[in-house]
Amino acid sequence: MHYLNNLWAALDFGSLWDMLLRLAAVLLCLTVHETCHGLAAYALGDPTARQAHRLSLNPLRHIDWFGLLMMFLAGFGWAKPVPVNPNYFKKPKQGMALTALAGPMSNFLLALIMLLAARIFCDVASYSEANQRILDFILMVAILSIGLGLFNLVPIPPLDGSKVLFAVLPDRAYDQLMRYERYGMLVLFALVFFDVGSNALSQAISWVFDLFCRVVGL
C-alpha cells in the first residue's frame, strides 16, 4: 500500500491532463477534416464515403491508430483516408480537387469558430483554473486545426494540395505525376526526419492564427 501511495504521488496529472486535451484536440481536427472530405464527395455525386459510414463525426470511424501514434511521437501523422471514387464525378480531376480542398477549408473554418468561441468565452467567463483550461483547449484546437489545414495544402502526394495541383495540370503531366504518387509518403517522411520546411510551416501557422484572431476581434 505504501508503494501504491508513492506511485500515485509521483504521477504527473498535469502532464497527463495536457496529453488528454491534446489527444481530444487532434481527434476533433482530424474528424472534421475527414468528414468534410466525404461530405464534399457526396455533394458532388460520389456515395462511396456514405456507404463506408465515413460521413460521421465519430472519431473512431476515422482514426488510423499508427498514424495517430506517429503524430504524437514524430509530429507527423494521418487519419484513415476517406474513400473516394472519381468515376462518379462529372469532371473527375476537378471533383477530386474540390473534395481535397474541403478538408483544409474545414480546418480553417473550425479554427475561426474556435477563436470566436474564445473571444466570447473571454468576455463572459471570469478567471478560474477550470476556465483557463477550457480556454487553453479552445486555442489548442484552433492552432492544431490551422496547422493541419496548412500542412495538407503542401502539394506532395498523398496530401490534399497534390490533388489540387494535379487538377490544374494538363492530362499528360497529370498521368506522369500519378505514376510517382506512391513515393510521396516517403518524401514526406524524409522532409519530417530532416526537419525541412518546419520553420516556414510554423511561421505560416503563426501568421494565419494572428489573421484569424484579428478577424474575430480576439
On the 0-12 / 13-18 / 19+ scale of CB atoms within 10 A, 99 is: buried
Which of these, 76, 90, 102, lies nearest to 160 by C-alpha position? Answer: 102
DSSP state of 158: T
Peptide bond into 157 cis (omega under 30): no
DSSP state of 159: S
Which of these, 137, 139, 114, lies nearest to 216 by C-alpha position? Answer: 114
Q: Which of 25, 34, 49, 89 is catalytic?
A: 34
Residue position matching grid coordinates 506522369: 176
Residue 181: left (phi > 0), alpha (psi -120 to 50), or beta?
alpha
Q: Are 157 and 119 in contact (CB under 8 A)?
A: no
Residues with Cβ < 8 Å from 76, sequence gap 6 or more? 70, 188, 189, 192
34 catalytically annotated? yes
- Catalytic residue ranges: 34
